């Protein structure tokens, strides 16, 4: 059973940047693709960015050109660099693998507000 620990969320002004981290244990990290999701209160989690085992990235349209997903197999960690943040990026951010783990981490809260 994988353990997922997200971190790096904060309160930031519009136009600012944050780097989220997801540390993974209990799973063979390098064997999986990994995805960042976000959830606004009362809504379902939505995919933000995915990175394949080989490092190919894909993004939801609303973050293309602003967010960058990356992975460090040696550290079993997946990152999300978020630039040019907008108020609509405010959410709790989670990571999970493909196929998904049954259990989720606690998430990390990102608030974009002036």
According to DSSP, the β-strands at 11-12 and 67-72 are: unpaired
pLDDT at residue 11 is higher than 90: yes
102 pLDDT tier (thresholds 50, 70, 90): confident
Sheet holding 11-12, edge to edge: 11-12, 108-112, 91-98, 33-39, 46-51, 57-59
Position 76 scores a pLDDT of 96
pLDDT at residue 61 is higher than 90: yes
Q: Which two tokens stand for residue 65?
A: 């050109």
- Does residue 62 sit in helix, strand or coil? helix
pLDDT at residue 1 is higher than 90: no
Alpha carbon distance 4, 61 (integer Å): 25
The chain-wide mean pLDDT, for the chain, equals 96
Mean pLDDT of all residues in 103-111: 96
Longest C-alpha distance within the chain, in Å? 40
pLDDT at residue 100 is higher than 90: no
């Amino acid at each position: 059973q994988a353990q997922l620990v997200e971190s790096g969320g904060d309160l930031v002004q519009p136009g600012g940047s944050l780097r989220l981290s997801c540390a993974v244990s209990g799973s063979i990290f390098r064997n999986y693709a990994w995805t960042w999701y976000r959830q606004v209160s009362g809504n379902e989690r939505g995919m933000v960015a995915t990175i394949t085992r080989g490092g190919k990235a894909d993004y939801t349209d609303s973050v293309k050109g602003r967010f960058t997903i990356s992975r460090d197999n040696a550290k079993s960690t997946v990152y999300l660099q978020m630039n040019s943040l907008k108020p609509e990026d405010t959410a709790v951010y989670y990571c999970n693998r493909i196929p998904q783990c049954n259990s989720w981490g606690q998430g990390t809260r990102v608030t974009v507000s002036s």
